[in-house]
């Protein structure tokens, strides 16, 4: 489609109303979530600019890292960053708060005043986490609620953080190279498998899928109204599909696993698919299991961190409780996070942290 003078090219990195229809359909792209992490034309009159630069010339193509606020709403240059009123933070004795507690206090305050505000922005990956994405990490062990479930954006951000920590990713304690596929991207491929026919767009993913020893794919599966995170592993070294699950048996979501294997095969067919039809699928049961009903996402993140292709070191539910508590600080104070203002506000609560450390 030609852009003309009434449209801009926008990059969609966030969608609030997933099922809202696109203004114009493009092949398999019919709903807003189909456009996630892709560029689409958008009417100029529905672009909201947050800088003084104003609109570009009518014949320009604008590349905007945007947030689509509504299905047929406006696209913004960025998600707003929060500024927490001081009264929200009153009563907190500065010397009593660890960095972890300071981050949790900050996220809780954000969710009361501005839950859609950005708390983490990994510019390198066009990833933005709102305060609402971090809210599930602020609940303690005694709190039993579905609000503790991790979002796909949070899963992807942690995966990107893990990948970025290694110039040439290799599992700690092993020689295995690894790659983590985004949960949002994989769900899109599961719902729109014909997209893979566009080989130019997915060649890099096919390469990573083929030439890394371990490929981790976090997947959200369902049984009735229940949702559950599991980890699908393509073990190229062992020539095996592997399932790591902290609670369910793979028979519950067998159909989705079959679809996942078909997508893997289609991607690898761009380069080398030799013998993959003979690969077995195995669920590993001798791994740490959750004892609650809402830690599956955290277990998947730990599996990605520790799985070497055949085993992983043991960890407990208490370790997961501590992991939940520490993760907000690890994400907010990551070197990838470009929102310096967020870090500065948290440093009010944790004055021992210096800007030179972030």
Closest listed residue to residue 79, CA positions, set 38, 45, 110, 40: 110
**287 located within any domain:** yes
Closest CA to 134 of 344, 352, 337: 337
The Cβ of residue 231 has, within 10 Å, a number of other Cβ atoms equal to 24
Within a domain: 267: yes
The angle, 0 to 180 degrees and rounded to 10, between the axes of the packed helices 254-268 and 199-211 is 100
The total number of structural domains that make up the chain: 1
DSSP per-residue letters across 139-196: --TT---GGGSPPHHHHHHHHHHHHHT-SS-B-TTS--BEEE--HHHHHHHHH-GGGG
The CA distance from 358 to 340, in Å, is 8
Indicate whether 350 belongs to any domain: no
Q: Two tokens at 171?
A: 């599992």
Does position 269 have pLDDT exceeding 80, yes or no? yes
Q: How do residues 80-97 score in pLDDT, each as one tens digit?
A: 555 555 545 544 544 457
Which domain, by its residues, includes 164?
A: 149-316+323-336
CATH number of the domain residue 279 falls in: 3.40.395.10
In the chain, % helix, strand, coil (3-state, to 5) comes to 40, 20, 40
Task: Tell me if 143 is assigned to some domain.
Answer: no
Record the pTM.
Answer: 0.74
Structure tokens at 163: 């990948």
> Strand, helix or coil at 7?
strand
CA distance 297 to 136: 11
Q: Is 206 helix (H, G, I), strand (E, B) or coil?
A: helix
Tokens of 71: 């299905």
Q: Residues 321-336: pLDDT tens digits?
A: 999 999 999 999 999 9
Q: Which residue has the higher pLDDT, 254 or 357?
A: 254
pLDDT confidence bin for 37, thresholds 50/70/90? low
- 66, part of any domain: no
Q: What would the pLDDT profile of 105-162 be if each residue is shown by its tens digit?
A: 999 999 999 999 999 999 999 999 999 999 999 998 877 777 889 999 999 999 999 9
- Exposed / middle / buried, residue 173 (Cβ in 10 Å: 0-12, 13-18, 19+): exposed
* Cβ atoms of residues 206 and 270 within 8 Å: yes
Q: Quick: pLDDT tens for 189-214.
A: 999 887 777 677 788 899 999 999 99
Res. 24: pLDDT tops 90:
no
For residue 166, being part of any structural domain is answered with yes
| 59 within some domain | no
Q: Where are the beta strands (DSSP E) in the chain?
A: 7-15, 21-26, 29-31, 38-43, 47-48, 64-68, 75-76, 118-122, 127-130, 178-180, 214-223, 226-235, 240-244, 281-284
For residue 25, tell me if it sits in a domain.
no
Average pLDDT of the residues in 9-35 = 68
């Amino acid at each position: 489609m030609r852009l003309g003078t009434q449209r801009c090219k926008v990059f969609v990195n966030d969608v609030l109303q997933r099922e809202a229809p696109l203004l114009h359909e493009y092949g398999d792209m019919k709903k807003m979530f189909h456009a996630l992490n892709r560029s689409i034309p958008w009417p100029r009159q529905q672009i909201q600019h947050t800088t003084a630069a104003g609109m570009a010339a009518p014949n320009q193509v604008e590349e905007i890292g945007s947030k689509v606020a509504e299905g047929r709403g406006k696209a913004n240059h960025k998600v707003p960053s929060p500024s927490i009123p001081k009264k929200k933070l009153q009563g907190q004795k500065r010397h009593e708060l660890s960095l972890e507690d300071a981050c949790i206090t900050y996220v809780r305050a954000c969710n009361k005043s501005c839950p859609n505000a950005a708390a983490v922005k990994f510019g390198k990956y066009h990833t933005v986490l709102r305060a609402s994405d971090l809210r599930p990490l602020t609940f303690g062990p005694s709190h039993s609620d579905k609000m503790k479930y991790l979002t796909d954006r949070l899963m992807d951000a942690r995966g990107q953080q893990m990948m970025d920590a290694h110039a040439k990713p290799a599992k700690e304690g092993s020689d295995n190279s690894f790659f983590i596929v985004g949960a949002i991207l994989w769900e899109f491929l599961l719902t729109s498998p014909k997209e893979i026919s566009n080989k130019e767009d997915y060649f890099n993913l096919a390469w990573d899928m083929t030439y890394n020893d371990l490929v981790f794919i976090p997947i959200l599966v369902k049984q009735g109204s229940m949702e559950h995170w599991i980890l699908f592993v393509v073990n190229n070294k062992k020539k095996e599909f592997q399932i790591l699950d902290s609670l369910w048996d793979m028979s519950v979501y067998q159909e989705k696993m079959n679809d996942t294997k078909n997508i893997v095969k289609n991607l690898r067919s761009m380069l080398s698919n030799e013998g993959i039809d003979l690969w077995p699928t195995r669920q590993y049961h001798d791994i740490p299991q959750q004892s609650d009903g809402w830690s599956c996402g955290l277990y998947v993140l730990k599996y990605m961190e520790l799985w070497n292709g055949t085993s992983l070191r043991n960890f407990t539910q208490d370790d997961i409780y501590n992991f939940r508590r520490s993760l907000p600080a690890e994400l907010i104070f990551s070197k990838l996070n470009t929102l310096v203002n967020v870090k500065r506000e948290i440093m009010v609560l944790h004055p021992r942290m210096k800007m030179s450390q972030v």
